């Protein structure tokens, strides 16, 4: 049963500390998405990768957030320095866009269980 995995599941840290969240996409998937979920804003797209290349990070605060894919099996989201307003649940999702056939954006995104972040 292929699943997206995320670590850690929970993280409590103090303001100013660095936070790194990791995601392992489903093997063979070539798109990765990072989302943030809060009560006030709902689900927001932070970053999007296709074939490990960052195509869109317009949803991220650039001064403190960074997202990378060091290899096809690992995506990371870093916050440095963290702030209390970053407290949220961060989801990673992966999908498969075929070279031909599937329309861009039509692929199903499979979500991980999320990282619940609390910044004190």
Partner 1 sequence: AQSVAQPEDQVNVAEGNPLTVKCTYSVSGNPYLFWYVQYPNRGLQFLLKYITGDNLVKGSYGFEAEFNKSQTSFHLKKPSALVSDSALYFCAAVFNDYKLSFGAGTTVTVRA
The CA distances from residue 19 to 34, 35, 100, 107, 110, in Å, are 15, 16, 38, 30, 23
CB of residue 26 to partner 1, shortest distance in Å: 12
Which residues neighbour 101 within 8 Å (Cβ) at sequence distance 6 or greater?
none
Compute the least distance from the CB of residue 25 to partner 1, in Å: 13
By CB under 8 A, residue 25 contacts partner 1? no
Q: Is 57 in the site for partner 1 (CB under 8 A)?
A: no
Q: Which residues bind partner 1 (CB under 8 A)?
A: 4, 31, 33, 42-43, 45, 48, 50, 55-56, 91, 93, 103-106, 108-114, 116
């Amino acid at each position: 049963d292929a699943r997206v995995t995320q670590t850690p599941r929970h993280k409590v840290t103090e303001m100013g500390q660095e936070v790194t969240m990791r995601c392992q996409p489903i093997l063979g998937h070539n798109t990765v998405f990072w989302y943030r979920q809060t009560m006030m804003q709902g689900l927001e797209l932070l970053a999007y990768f296709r074939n490990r290349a960052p195509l869109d990070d317009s949803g991220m605060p650039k001064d403190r957030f960074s997202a990378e894919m060091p290899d096809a099996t690992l995506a990371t989201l870093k916050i440095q320095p963290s702030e209390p307003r970053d407290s949220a649940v961060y989801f990673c999702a992966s999908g498969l866009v075929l070279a031909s056939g599937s329309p861009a954006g039509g692929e199903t995104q499979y979500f991980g269980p999320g990282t619940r972040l609390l910044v004190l």
